[in-house]
Homo-oligomer: A and B are copies of this chain.
């Protein structure tokens, strides 16, 4: 885990900021001090601080130093790929996952388009509802390339698929693209979720890529309107 020095510094400080043991606005040690403390060079420290800055943990001011940002208010993912399990654990609510489907199915034209498949063939399909405080709020529909995910146990589907993919199958996940939009509810939504009388639903389409840039997973996450929230942290890039 701590193979790289700059990763170790990043992990140390991101943990401290998240746990609140460093308070908002507090000044970090200077780059030279950190270099001394970790017995490394200033450039290595700078790499860690740059990552912390990119991910919204700290803020650097030229001539002054690095300062802790307010992450308390960022309740949801600061950015990046965060799983339902991680989020719900952070929220500390009573959550439950109901697996409706978990098997190998022939791919429809729609799914082939999403997974950029040219030829017909099977895909692994998982349909799950997420129950929060007794209400089924989110419908997750996952599709995997059978090349990478030949099968999936019910246990893995009930817990965290990501954990299984990364730790057991050792799949090198690299990046993902999210699309958020609002669409009309389908009969399936009404059947599998506790929708009340909402006519629309928030759809988050997630395209997950491996390090070799192959698209291997497509996820459709359908959230009930009133329970949906998404938080994004963005830095201004000067032109």
- Residues of A27-68 contacting chain B, CB below 8 A: 51, 54-56, 59, 61, 67
How many chain copies?
Answer: 2
Neighbouring B residues of A228 by C-beta, 8 Å: 180-182
Q: Which residues of A contact B (CB under 8 A)?
A: 1, 7, 11, 25, 51, 54-56, 59, 61, 67, 69, 73-74, 79-81, 173-182, 198-200, 202, 211-213, 225-226, 228-239
30 contacts between A and B (CB under 8 A): A11-B239, A55-B237, A59-B174, A59-B175, A61-B211, A73-B177, A79-B232, A80-B236, A80-B237, A81-B234, A175-B233, A175-B234, A176-B234, A176-B236, A178-B232, A178-B233, A178-B234, A179-B229, A179-B232, A180-B228, A180-B230, A180-B232, A181-B228, A181-B230, A182-B182, A182-B200, A182-B202, A198-B200, A200-B225, A232-B232
